Structure 1
Amino acid sequence: MKNIVMIYCDELRCDALSCYGSPYGIKTENIDELAAHSVMFDECYCASPVCVPSRYSTLTSLPPTQTGVYHNEAAMPTFKLDHDFITFPQVLKDAGYCTASFGKTHIPAVQTPVFDVNDEMGGEMNLGINIKEEASQIMKLPGQFQSVLAADYPADKRFWPEQVTDHGIEWMLKQRQPFFIRFSYLQPHTPIVVPEKYVQRLNDIEFDDSLTYYSTSEFEKRFGEICDIQRMCAQDVQRMRKYYYAMVLWIDEQVGRIMQALKDHHLMDDTILVFTADHGANRGENGALAKQTFQPSSHRIPLLISNNNCKERRHDICSNLDLGPTLLAMNGIAVPKSFMGINLFEKTQEEVYSMVGYGKRTSKAFPNKNQGAWSMNHGWPQRVCIRTTRFRLDMNSMMDGEFVSEADEDICFIDRLKDPMEQVNRINDPEYQPFIHELVKKLRAYSRSQKLVDDAMVEMDMEKIKAYKKAGQTK
């Protein structure tokens, strides 16, 4: 059995990596080196474009409909899973692996530990400093979305998140039996507070200073309104993007450190390396920030799997549900019958599904901020998506605790062949009506198969938010 090293990022969009085609020509040289010896998946999508459900789906190889984990409320102390779902690290442990995770966790409370070792040092949102007092040149939006989108880390302090790499490598090199290790970085998730040297490397690049707006769905329009970035000046838009990409350069350096440690200790030939993310991040696309939409900037994720220099670029569609079954099968370990992902080296699939939100009356787009209702009278809706090799269709599925009527589905239909940037809603085009009818039928069935969750477990009020943050699950 081979060792497995998984490098896991948060809010990492594919086009931040030069191997996926960076629009600014920025080189992520270490990740490129990994890609040069990997199977690279061009069309991988997350089962939910938000942290907690995506991370839990990766671990369990189950979609949100099966676990009841639809948004970040599921990490609150009030949320209870109805049973202990098996995860692929637990299967690896039962097969004889030592398992460990370093950095960010952010999943629902579980009864059985997912990893033998779970060291979260370096994965905290505060980055080991008092950001308000110690960071400099802090940029926040003029509106209500108050996340730090750019700031300089104190020059006299070592970057706190590097402990994820430090501790992980130290543990990895001590192992004397097969191991699975996850380096789980918060970055490039907000707050974007970056050591100066990474920013300076991008001083010669002119970043786009415009925000885009296009008509896809009322859901994306309303989400953009909540993000409230319309008043950003051009200089701040450029800086927001520059600091995001600078943070990715730091990630690239950590990948280089991990790969060098494997090389120096002659472990590379006996190790499978995985590089991926929980979801992407909007940086002004359709007026949005963060994630939660099914735009490719938010929904699409990088996936590299390296095993003995087997290089290939795959264009078939896949999901983060597929990672666990693939890694188990690569090591000759039986895949649990409960897993719903596929072994990517044995099968392909024609479509993948995704879901985000609880659709309760109290639901908000940003539950940890208690911010972002659909309207004065309605909570934030649950939304579902189906992607095929050519089409994307997403629509509202629940609102105020009820399945929505056809009039409130707010369907967005994209022909990705004609519109690879996914900016044009062709819902009323007669040419596509048979495809739309079939995909809507499938999505309604998918939505109605979901596990229903009691309102009290996911209601967000200020006291519950405080308890949520106190418990250390600070998204």
Structure 2
Amino acid sequence: MASRTLLFVLLLLAASAASAATHPNVLMIAIDDLNDWVGCMGGHPQAKTPNIDRLAARGVLFENAHAAAPLCNPSRTALLTGLRPSTTGVYCNNGWFRDHPDYVDWVTLPQYFAGQGYAAWGGGKVFHQPSGRMSDRQSWDKQYSNAVGAPNPPEQRRFQHGMRGKFTTSAFFNNALDWGPIDQPKEQTGDWQTAETAAKLLSQEHDRPFFLACGIYRPHLPWYAPAEFFDAHDLAGVTLPPYLETDLDDVPAMGRRLARLDFPVIKASGHWRDAVHAYLACATFADACVGHVLDALEAGPNADDTIVVLWGDHGWHLGEKDHWSKFALWDQTSRTPLVVYAPNVSEAGGRCASAVSLIDIYPTLLELTGLPPRDDLDGRSLAPLVRDPGSDWPYPALVTHWKDNHAVQDDRYRYIHYRDGGEELYDHQTDPNEWKNLASDPAYARVKARLAQSLPKQNAEHFQPEPPENM
């Protein structure tokens, strides 16, 4: 009996491997805290991201892509499980979906590929952590790197901005909000080491298709990067983001609480331009790591049969709407790059203006690789838009921050509904900076009602720990 069982298992594995052999590889590149300050997206006029730009020139750039949540763990959990935060109750950075009794055995995106005969390899920050339990080791056949970021400069060169200890609403900033060039070359940074190992894997032939995820940590705080990337941007000429002193006057109370009180500290310090310069430098550094991976793919044996999807896990405010961070429901906190290149499928240089969600990546990759679809995911396949970026797409993107606080984004409007009844509505066609809240204008009642139909019917309870009292 044992020998028959073993034979049956071997036959199943052989059948799975034979089936997988007909499917393309997947290279997934994740970038932490990268907003729309990318050359091809035009979010900042001085952004220098030539490698992301060249990937976009080969594939389809989703210009209006949004994270499912404006912070790391809920966003990545949603993308990799295919389930919204309002479905799982994972709204914060500490709640781990495997601890939830309903999702302890949930099959994640890389797990699904592994179950279909793929080799699943993860490196850097893909789930919430690069190693340990919140890297979801069970999702991978191999975790090839847990290196992230860049080394800190010497202690005497840290926190020279003089703001340490002055942040009251985000204590994390007191230990993490710093920036500056480091002396080490890029080859000695954690992000480059992860990119280098991914590059080596992409340079080799493999006996079965692979799902390879490469997580780049910058421009996540602290903003340390090799000096060459700071030198690539002229500090004196850095353009500050759009800013309006009275921006929050028409924002409801909960929206103002989300904005916190951190940006005024930065503005008063006189270091706003220095910090913007550092963010631009770290985005360029992250782009160089992306380029190293893409170079290896294009020069190696897997170039013609590898789908590439690149995404950032959410956006980041650098003073817009008096906000400095993520943790909000405005456009700048959720909008992030999404590029899909599928050989012989995607339109070179395609641009899609439709509002889409990163939660759609899971079903999209299943369709593009020809794997069996799942009917229990919250997202929808973007494959029709990969084939034709101008196709009709009537589905708004949904963003959630804590329980029952949501933003609904379509091709023109952004509607925000807070759980205490507060509302915001912005017309991005006439007001791209979201300076005028139209929610109380009767002329837009129908727009609000239409967008409100896309608010989730389910708002799961917070799954540990509880949110702060002021939320």
TM-score bracket for this pair, using the shorter chain length: 0.7 to 0.9
Q: Secondary structure at the match of 1:54?
A: helix
The answer as to 2:61 corresponding to 1:30 is no
After TM superposition, list the pairs within 5 Å mapping 1:242-261 onto structure 2: 242-261=277-296
Q: 2:401 aligns with which of 356, 360, 377?
A: 356
Aligned mate of 2:193, from 163, 166, 190: 163
| TM superposition shift of 1:48 | 0.6
After superposition, the C-alpha distances for 1:164-192 in whole angstroms (9 at most, x for unaligned) are: 11222233334332111111111101111
Q: Is the aligned partner of 1:329 residue 2:367?
A: yes
Aligned partner of 2:215 in structure 1 is 184
Specify the SS of the correspondent of 1:58. Answer: helix
Would the aligned equivalents of 1:135 and 1:153 in 2 still touch at CA under 8 Å?
no
Question: 1 CA distance for matches of 2:97 and 2:377?
Answer: 25
Q: Secondary structure at the match of 2:114?
A: helix
Deviation at 1:161, TM superposition (A): 2.4
Asked if the contact 1:48–1:54 (Cα under 8 Å) also holds between the matched residues in 2, the reply is yes
1:121 aligned onto 2:146: yes
Number of the residue aligned with 1:232? 267
Inter-partner Cα distance in structure 1 for 2:467 and 2:96: 12
> How far has the Cα of 1:18 moved from its partner?
0.7
Give the count of matched residue pairs: 418
The one of 217, 220, 227 equivalent to 2:255 is 220
SS at 1:229's partner residue?
helix
Structure 1 residues 82, 356: closer, same or farther in 2, change over 3 A? same
SS at match of 1:254: helix
Structure 2 Cα separation of the partners of residues 345 and 156 of structure 1 = 39
Structure 1 stretch 270-279 or stretch 209-218: which is displaced more? 209-218
Alignment CA distance shift 1:256-1:333 (3 Å): same
Pick the aligned partner of 1:2 from 17, 24, 27. Answer: 24
In 2 relative to 1, CA 50–151 (structure 1 residues): closer, same or farther, beyond 3 Å? same
Which runs of 5 or more residues in structure 2 are unaligned? Answer: 1-22, 168-172, 386-392
Once the two structures are aligned, what percentage of the paired residues are identical? 24
User: For the structure 1 residues 270 and 205, does the alpha-carbon distance in structure 2 shift closer, same or farther, using more than 3 Å as the test?
Assistant: farther
Q: Distance in 2 between matches of 1:223 and 1:264?
A: 46
Paired residue for 1:471? Answer: none
Distance in 1 separating the partners of 2:137 and 2:59:
33
Within the alignment, does 1:201 sit opposite 2:232 as a pair?
yes
Residue 443 of structure 2 is aligned to residue 423 of structure 1: no
Alpha-carbon distance, 1:433 to partner: 1.6
Counterpart in 1 of 2:180?
A: 151
* Structure 1 match to 2:358: 320
Paired residue for 1:98, among 100, 107, 119?
A: 119
TM-score (norm 1): 0.81
What SS does structure 2 have at the residue aligned with 1:18?
coil
| Deviation digits for residues 295-346 of structure 1 (CA, Å, limit 9, x no counterpart) | 2221111111112362211111110111111111111101211112111123
- Whether contact under 8 Å (2:196, 2:292) holds in the other structure is no
C-alpha distance in structure 2 between counterparts of 1:118 and 1:52, whole Å:
19
Question: TM-score, length-normalised on structure 2?
Answer: 0.81
Taking the TM superposition and a 5 Å limit, the aligned residue runs for 1:379-394 are 383-394=405-416
Residue correspondence of structure 1 range 55-134 to structure 2 within 5 A:
55-75=76-96, 80-83=100-103, 84-104=105-125, 105-106=127-128, 109=134, 113-123=138-148, 127-129=150-152, 133=155
In 1, Cα distance between the equivalents of 2:68 and 2:327?
11
Q: Map 1:446-461; keep pairs closer than 5 Å.
A: 446=456, 449-453=458-462, 457-459=464-466
Write the deviation string for residues 338-374 of structure 1: whole angstroms up to 9, x where unpaired. 112111123733312121125xxxxxxxxxxxxxxxx
Q: Deviations over 1:42-76 (max 9, x none)?
A: 11111111100100111111111221111112149
Q: Secondary structure of the residue that 1:74 maps to in structure 2? A: coil
Q: Which amino acid aligns with 1:427?
A: A
Quote the offset at 1:261 in angstroms: 0.8
Give SS of 1:41's match: strand
Q: Which residue of 2 aligns with 1:410?
A: 422
| Structure 1 residue 441, shift from structure 2 partner | 5.6
Q: Which amino acid aligns with 2:142?
A: V
Work out whether 1:339 is the aligned partner of 2:377.
Answer: yes
Describe the superposition over 1:396-453 as per-residue Cα deviations: whole angstroms up to 9, x where unpaired: 22xxxxxxxxxx322111122221222211112120123324444653xx2x512224
Q: Secondary structure at the match of 2:383?
A: coil
Deviations along 1:126-145, whole A, 9 cap, x unmatched? x455x672754644636314
Secondary structure (helix, strand or coil) at the match of 1:414 reads strand
> Are 2:198 and 1:173 equivalent residues in the alignment?
no
Q: Quick check: which one's helix share is greater?
A: 2
- Contact 1:12–1:188 (CA under 8 A) maintained in structure 2: yes
Partners of 1:73 and 1:103 in 2: CA distance: 19
Contact kept, 8 Å, 1:274 with 1:306, in 2: the verdict is: yes
Shift of 1:111: 7.8
Residue 27 (structure 1) shift: 3.0
C-alpha change, 1:120 and 1:134, in structure 2 (3 Å) is farther
